[in-house]
């Protein structure tokens, strides 16, 4: 009964692609807790106070039934105003929110154009949705334009949806948002921007790289709460009409227990911290500059962001390097296909305020030694 699963696991092991769960050990060069908020006193105190004042741990039902707590509404109002959108809707996580948006908003007859390196959750949502789906070359607005033109030429009559991350999770590079916006404008298209790795870190006061675009009718944005915000969940920001539509039509929103109201409190507090404590972004920026300089000196291209991929290529070699660094006390993880394209296995160095400049220097000293072995 279990043979085919065992065979599949053996196949993964042969390709150095077998994964297993491991604990948290060593200096944090692996999490997405970019601003160090997950363990911050202010976040912990806000949650403890809410709990002491009677906020329930669980929402106890769907938002459409008894699960709609004031904490959810407070967060959504704060998020809409913080990000500059008409409305916001809180989901249990970014994966489900991407899936929810892409299975609900693009309609039959529409076209979804995905960046080829878009997160797995967007792929899953687009594939499970009703619209036709095509992929366009990474960060290539002309390729998106071409995809829409050729779909129209073949008789496509619905509306195009352009789907991009603003800061790519495995490469740390930025999308050409203004060029994509221009393409969207030319084709009366929606632009759906996943800000998972930019929210809290980039844009005016950490409002994201798409902050200047939010509030327009054709813009839908995803802000995850489990990365720089240090909590969990995700906020979809969009027009009131699209949020109302999601409340009425989005099955992952309707048929699910609402996220914990305590996470709504944590996420709302994180937005306050992000606005009040700009020095966190400044400290992170200094780590990014230092790591970029050190990576460059070793012949690895700096990404210019807190996500710094050290591309190794071979799966086994990338995992061996990650293990060697872990053994020296640095929690650096290797990332292999299918998460990244074949032949681009890498170390994904993630910079967070959970480490300091000395730690970054020590990591690159160790990396230099391990690479020359």
Ligand X SMILES: Cc1ncc(COP(=O)(O)O)c(C=O)c1O
99 part of the interface to ligand X, by CB under 6 A: no
- Sole binder of ligand X in the list 34, 83, 90, 95 (CB under 6 A): 95
Q: Alpha helices of the chain — where are they, by DSSP H?
A: 3-14, 41-52, 70-83, 94-104, 120-128, 141-153, 177-186, 240-249, 251-254, 261-276, 278-297, 315-327, 357-371
166 part of the interface to ligand X, by CB under 6 A: no
Active-site residue flag, 32:
yes
Shortest distance, CB of residue 92 to ligand X, whole angstroms? 8
Number of C-beta neighbours around residue 356 at 10 A:
13
Active-site residue flag, 119:
yes
Shortest distance, CB of residue 166 to ligand X, whole angstroms? 9
SS3 333: strand
Phi, psi of 250 (to 5 degrees): -90, 105
Residue 17, token pair as written in the block = 């692609």
75 part of the interface to ligand X, by CB under 6 A: no
Where does this chain touch ligand X (CB under 6 A) — which range of 77-85, 89-97, 245-253, 272-280? Answer: 89-97
331 part of the interface to ligand X, by CB under 6 A: no
Q: Please check whether residue 172 is in contact with residue 295, taking contact to mean a CB–CB distance below 8 angstroms.
A: no
Active-site residue, selected from the candidate residues 28, 71, 165, 214: 165
Compute the distance between CA of residue 8 and CA of residue 18 in angstroms, rounded to an integer.
10
DSSP states of 235-298: EEEE-HHHHHHHHHH-HHHHTSPPPPHHHHHHHHHHHHHHHH-HHHHHHHHHHHHHHHHHHHHT
121 part of the interface to ligand X, by CB under 6 A: yes
Q: 184: buried, middle or exposed (CB in 10 Å: 19+, 13-18, 0-12)?
A: buried
How many residues touch ligand X under the rule CB under 6 A: the total is 13
Active-site residue, selected from the candidate residues 121, 139, 169, 354: 169
Residue ranges in 123-142 that form contacts with ligand X under rule CB under 6 A = none
Where does this chain touch ligand X (CB under 6 A) — which range of 42-50, 81-89, 92-100, 123-131? Answer: 92-100
Phi, psi of 244 (to 5 degrees): -60, -40
Active-site residue flag, 194:
yes
Active-site residue flag, 135:
no
Active-site residue flag, 227:
yes
115 part of the interface to ligand X, by CB under 6 A: no
194 part of the interface to ligand X, by CB under 6 A: yes
Beta carbons within 8 Å of 305's beta carbon, 6+ residues apart: 167, 172, 173, 174, 197, 201, 202, 288
Where does this chain touch ligand X (CB under 6 A) — which range of 90-98, 106-114, 295-303, 311-319? Answer: 90-98
Active-site residue, selected from the candidate residues 72, 78, 119, 223: 119
Where does this chain touch ligand X (CB under 6 A) — which range of 19-27, 51-59, 66-74, 94-102? Answer: 94-102
SS3 316: helix
Short-list 216, 202, 213, 190, CA closest to 284 = 202
Residue ranges in 217-236 that form contacts with ligand X under rule CB under 6 A = 224, 226, 234
346 part of the interface to ligand X, by CB under 6 A: no
Provide the annotated active-site residues. Answer: 32, 119, 165, 169, 194, 197, 227
The residues binding ligand X (CB under 6 A) are 93-95, 98, 119, 121, 165, 169, 194, 196, 224, 226, 234
């Amino acid at each position: 009964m279990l043979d085919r699963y065992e065979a599949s696991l053996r196949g993964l092991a042969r390709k150095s692609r077998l994964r297993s769960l491991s604990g948290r050990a060593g200096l944090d060069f692996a999490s997405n807790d970019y601003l160090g908020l997950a363990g911050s006193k202010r976040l912990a105190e806000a949650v403890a106070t809410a709990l002491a004042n009677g906020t329930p741990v669980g929402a106890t039902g769907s938002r459409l039934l008894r699960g709609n707590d004031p904490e959810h509404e407070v967060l959504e109002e704060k998020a809409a105003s913080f990000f500059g959108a008409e409305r916001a809707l809180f989901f249990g996580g970014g994966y489900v929110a991407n899936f929810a948006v892409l299975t609900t908003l693009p309609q039959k007859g529409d076209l979804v154009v995905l960046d080829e390196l878009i997160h797995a959750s967007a792929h899953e949502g687009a594939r499970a949705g009703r619209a036709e789906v095509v992929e366009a070359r990474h960060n290539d607005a002309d390729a998106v334009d071409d995809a829409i033109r050729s779909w129209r030429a073949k008789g496509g009559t619905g509306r195009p949806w352009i789907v991009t991350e603003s800061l790519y999770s495995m490469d740390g590079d930025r999308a050409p948002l203004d060029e994509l916006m221009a393409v969207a404008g030319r084709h009366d298209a929606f632009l759906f921007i996943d800000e998972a790795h930019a929210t809290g870190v980039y844009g005016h006061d950490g409002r994201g790289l798409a902050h200047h675009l939010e509030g327009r009718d054709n813009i839908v944005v995803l802000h995850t709460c489990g990365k720089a915000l240090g909590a969990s969940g995700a906020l979809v920001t969009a027009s009131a009409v699209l949020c109302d539509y999601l409340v009425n039509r989005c099955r992952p929103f309707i048929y699910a227990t609402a996220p914990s109201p305590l996470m709504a409190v944590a996420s709302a507090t994180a937005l306050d911290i992000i606005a009040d404590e700009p020095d966190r972004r400044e400290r992170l920026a200094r780590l990014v500059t230092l790591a970029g300089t050190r990576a460059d000196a070793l012949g690895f291209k700096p990404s210019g962001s807190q996500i710094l991929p050290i591309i190794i290529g071979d799966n086994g070699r990338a995992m061996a390097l990650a293990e060697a660094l872990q053994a020296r006390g640095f929690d650096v993880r290797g990332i292999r296909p299918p998460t990244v394209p074949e032949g681009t296995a890498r170390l994904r160095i993630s910079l967070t305020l959970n480490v300091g400049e000395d730690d970054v220097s020590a990591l690159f000293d160790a990396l230099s030694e391990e690479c020359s072995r």
